[in-house]
Structure 1
Amino acid sequence: MEAAQHAARGRTARGAAELDLDEATTERLRSQLPRVAEHTVRAVIIEVPSYAGALRGAMGTNIEEAVQLALGGFLSLAARPRGTDPGTPLAPALEGAYALGRGEARSGRTMDALLSAYRVGARVSWRELSAQAVDAGLDAATLAKFAELVFAYIDELSAASVAGHTDELATTGRVRRRYLQRLGRSLLLGAPADQLAAAAARADWDPPRTLTAVVMPGEQARRVLSGLDPRTLRPEEDLPDLEGEDENEIAVLLVPDADRPARTALVRSLRGRQAYIGPARPWTAVRSSYLRVLRARRLGLLDAAGPQPDPEAGVCDTEQHLTSLVLGADPAALADLRAQVLEPLAGLRPSTAERLAETLHAWLLHQGRRDDVARALHVHPQTVRYRMGQVRELYGDALNDPGTVLALTVALAGRAAPVEPQVTE
């Protein structure tokens, strides 16, 4: 870009140095600038569809004035005294062209439209100004130099507008990325819904119906993001609730509308990524999904057996591990419950107590069906009968109490459940 600008400026300076316009011709051309500007704007409206509505009314008047400024700068350049730095008359027009490029970026138009407008403007301006120059008696050689200067000047204005457009997009992109980062962190922190809505509007982010939190190794996230909804957020700074973990090694993705059938596709896309997928939640409530995936990660559920175990997949769908998550939610309470309901076994040898607890657990799960219990434990049905006789002697009528049965079911299920590490001060 800079090389092109320098080349254009060199051609402009050279053309201006070689052109010699007398004062009368310059004044004649200057008097026609309002008409030339009007014709230029009219041609742009007709020939460049992107500007069909944009240049009417007050904006059209503003553009006409900008065209007059540009043309006036050109005439000042063409008529400047020999030896004068061409940058002096060029500066205001170039600043205006740069600002125009930034404005076009803010309006959402590409540079294609503006460059087309420049080409139309160059053609119309040259036609109008050259006709006046011929009427003023310019000779052919001077007219040729005049043409060269017109198009070198337009090239330089175009380059300034391209620079402005590029800078605005870069600035806008950085600002939007910063806003998206703030939105993502606010979502993880559970900010109030009205604050989240305002943050989404600032970031120009279209809120989905739901968001699903995904936690995975940081180095894998870039490859995954390209296949997800473009609205997926990836907060990267000051991630909350990590409890001492290195946030640089963890990627948090907030994936829009990844529920129902879309969840299957999300799980499939994350296979082999060591990813933890939380539940879909209303987008303003995604913090609960985030906290669940962190809990699943701390419990090491990636390879844990669940209702549909798939240890080769490298994905933990937390919806398939709800029992383990519930049992691991309060490890101290689970340990107390276990000690309480297994107290009748406390006086036995550890190996005996373990066998009886294992048999009681299978008996509860299979609702007392002896053959099913035997198959689950790989023992003879008579062994099940013998062990359950011992259990009944120890528990008595308590095994007929629904409350006791519930407590035993939870406590014995928790024997194999992962326990969340306790955070110590």
Structure 2
Amino acid sequence: MSDTLLDIEPGLAGLPPTVGDHLRGLRGALHLRILGTVRAAMREQGRSLTGGQGQGLALGVRTAVDTFVDAVAEPDRALAPTRAVFHTLGRTEYREGHRVDALRAVLTLGARDIWAFLVEQAAAPAATGGTPTGPDARSTGPDAGGAGTAAGPTGTDAGPAPTDLYVIAGALFGYADALAGAAAEGFLDEQRDTAQDWATLRRRLVTLLVQPDPPAEEVLRAAAETARWPLPATVAVVSVHGTDAEHLARVVGAGTVATVIGDAVRLVLPEPRTPGRLDQARQALAGRRAAVGPAVARHRARLSYRLSRRALSLHQQGALGPDPVVSCDDHLLTLLTDWEPGLAGHLADTVLAPLAGLRPTTRRTLAETLHGWLRRQGQVVAVAEDLHTHPQTVRYRMRQLRALFGPALDDPDARLVLALALRSRPTGGADHSDAG
């Protein structure tokens, strides 16, 4: 293990002090340039420097630049503190579901950019009017102040001579490899520490899939790779009453991953349209109260999760029928009208207000007639048959309803709202049981 930059590149011992002073003068410009390069590389990976790990990486970049600049001037300076920073970054990369190659790529790009920047600086004329750096700007005679001393007072202004740059290059790329090695060690240490905790890995994977903002594809792929879960094109989220996530994932099988979110198990079933897969899942969940979300593209997993979560809640309230395992696709209208607790009741209170002042018996009779008339699209004879009454009676009641509701009975949108309200409140009476 290299403890100093001198261990990486012994030639640093021969550099003149002016070279180290020159690099220290470029410290601020190097910070700006390398951070810009790292930001661009992070964006390509679907990541940002604004989050916790991003800010840590930005600090790591500044630390790496500072250490390198100072170590060129003082090549026996210890590298251990900077290696520790990148060891920690490697651990964090693993915890956040990234691949260690991503951090290595950032380090390689940063080192190349530092090298390009130093070459550009060396190729430019000295800012204070000195001569350009080149073979003639360097003295190798006995009066040159030691091997590698720049000629005259222009050495510091013009930057390192080409032979000095080659030494710096060897130190720079060896230094980047050392930091990448420290990051890889941190990554592997974290992987070893959590290798047996598959529940944690898969819990994180499920959370990524169903979080409000879909994760970047690279982030999701890294998390799936870490959890050893082949990333499917489509998924269905199943919400199950209980907390035995790992047990249920094993029972359902077919690559299902699971965790507990809120008060229920959330199973992510890959490729649910595979013939027999949903039937197998339903059989495995026999005897458990569960709601199967719709099959959706992977990036829409949150929709399947939200529907199954709400369906399970309604199922526990007895709103989705007697079957223990229900499918969201079979109850979309109920999910739509009962999505927000209390909303269906408010809708009924509002649009059925014309019935509110009637006697209970009359209100119930008119509500049943209106509901039947809307369902049968105004076919009086069919409504009469459904209600076991005479068509003339239905016509009489409809005249009463037209007096109460007026033009609304001829408006398609108003009829739709009335049908939804009566579906929630068939008798037309006040009922605040769903106001919670």
The structure number with the bigger radius of gyration is 1
Higher helix share: 1
How does the TM-score come out when normalised to structure 1?
0.49
How does the TM-score come out when normalised to structure 2?
0.48
